Amino acid sequence: MSRNYCEQCKRPIDVCFCDSLITIKNKIPIHIIQHPSEQHHPFNTGRIAQLCLENCRITVAEKLNDHVRRVLNNSNTLLLYPELDWLPKAFNDNASGDGLHLDPATKHLIVIDATWRKSKKILHLNPFLQHLPRLSLRPAYESQYQIRHSSFKDSLSTIESIALALEQLEPETNYKALLKPFQRMIELQTQFSNPKNRERKKNIN
């Protein structure tokens, strides 16, 4: 039997989290470069940012087209990406861990929504990204993304990274609220994955 899906959050109706969605008017536009494999991933969190932030756009691609490159390739664009050992030294030298010291004229924040391996490929296919000013986060907490695992320690989900970055760039706005639908998605999925809950629902139906 096919499952019914929510048209907005793209999750099965049983675990739809749309009742927890909020709307925040962010000043700095977010441009998410999403790897094609993430577009239909059931636990993707980039779409949460798009649903909650008024100024958020997703481009699904490995290699950006000329128009998108022209829009993003300028000194007022900031790339959100951590410092990692396998990155070129010059790339890591562009990093700032303190949003308060970044250019106040920032017009875009680019976020790569992909696994680490695939994000590396996006950087390789779009070399201009490696030359942009960069924000590297230093999270003071562990990711709550228990339903999906990363190969790197201290990794955050896309929505957690965006919330933390905007907290630094726009401290006057409460961006912790962005995590509520993310937490709700995890809560519902955890409940649904519990064999006892699934059996109970089966008996009711």
Per-residue pLDDT of the chain (205 residues; tens, 9 = 90+): 568 999 999 999 999 999 999 999 999 999 999 999 999 998 999 999 999 999 999 999 999 999 999 999 987 899 999 875 545 554 445 555 554 445 666 778 999 999 989 999 999 999 999 889 888 887 766 776 665 555 556 688 999 999 999 998 999 999 999 999 999 999 999 998 765 555 544 544 4
Domains belonging to the chain, first-starting first, are 21-139+154-173 (3.40.1280)
CB 110 within 8 A of CB 79: yes
pTM, 2 dp = 0.84
Question: Cα angle vertex 117, ends 28, 92, to 5°?
Answer: 55
* Per-residue pLDDT at 178: 95
